[in-house]
Structure 1
């Protein structure tokens, strides 16, 4: 029984393949000009996109300029600005302390002062607000 089913399946698959091949031959003969035009259009469109990307000069992003007016109005110290910048790097308090050569408690104190001056409660909020104010890139 299974052998018969497999033979019928194979015969149907060969029939379908033959019909698709005949249809392909008909389509390529009946619409050969249109097919060539579409292929040329796609090729030239791709070439145009590639050339446009390669030949268009890209301007460098502007250099980051820290908002000194916001720093003065908030009363941030140079160390607090440095802490804020390092907070954005995603390092833990211990990693910040090790990098700055100070104790973790001192880092926590600086972070608490930054939170207080920015009027935020969490690290992510401090980073968002600092970016909005132009304090960090």
Structure 2
């Protein structure tokens, strides 16, 4: 016999015993599980039932808690006024009976200027600007400069200021 034939024979012999040992280990493990199941059958059945009802509860909760969303489409006619940004509503302006200076102060307020900046732009004192602003608030029936600007822009008595 040659060396290679002898080596192949030994390898076959080793594989046969390895296969036999593997089958023996699987058989022993199977028997161990079988006896484990027999010894603890009640606990295993209770665990399986608990697992089933847990899964069932999760499924039912998912079905009950899904939000019911309905899509409602409402069709309306929407009228959009033409954007005449340079248009000033003279009729509304006359209703407030604003003086020329009060109107100038309102225009500068709508541009976002502070009282100090308005005083500088109009070459007036700060207290005069505050007086004009107070008179303006009384005539327009508002309490703050934000309300005055919003009302003036809504009624189109000032031109909205567009910053570059």
Q: TM-score, with normalisation over the residues of structure 2?
A: 0.45
From the CA coordinates, give the structure whose radius of gyration is larger. Answer: 2
Instruction: Report the CA distance shift for 1:75/1:100 in structure 2 as closer, same or farther (over 3 A).
Output: same
Q: Which has the higher helix share?
A: 1
Taking only aligned residues, the RMSD between alpha carbons, in angstroms, comes to 1.6
The answer to whether residue 113 in structure 2 is matched with residue 91 in structure 1 is: yes
2:127 to 102, 105, 119: 105
Residues 60-99 of structure 1: per-residue CA shift (max 9 Å, x gap) = x535121111111111112111110100111111111011
In the other structure, the counterpart of 2:145 is 123
Question: What is the rounded CA distance, in whole Å, between the counterparts of 1:120 and 1:63 in structure 2?
Answer: 23
Question: What is the rounded CA distance, in whole Å, between the counterparts of 1:66 and 1:124 in structure 2?
Answer: 19
Instruction: Figure out how many residues of one structure are paired with residues of the other and give that number.
Output: 78
Gaps of 5+ in 2: 1-82, 160-164
Runs of 4+ displaced beyond 4 Å = none
Gaps of 5+ in 1: 1-60
1:81 to 103, 111, 115: 103
Q: TM-score, with normalisation over the residues of structure 1?
A: 0.53
Contact 1:87 / 1:123 at 8 angstroms: preserved in 2?
yes
SS of equivalent to 1:79: helix
Instruction: Report the CA distance shift for 1:63/1:132 in structure 2 as closer, same or farther (over 3 A).
Output: closer
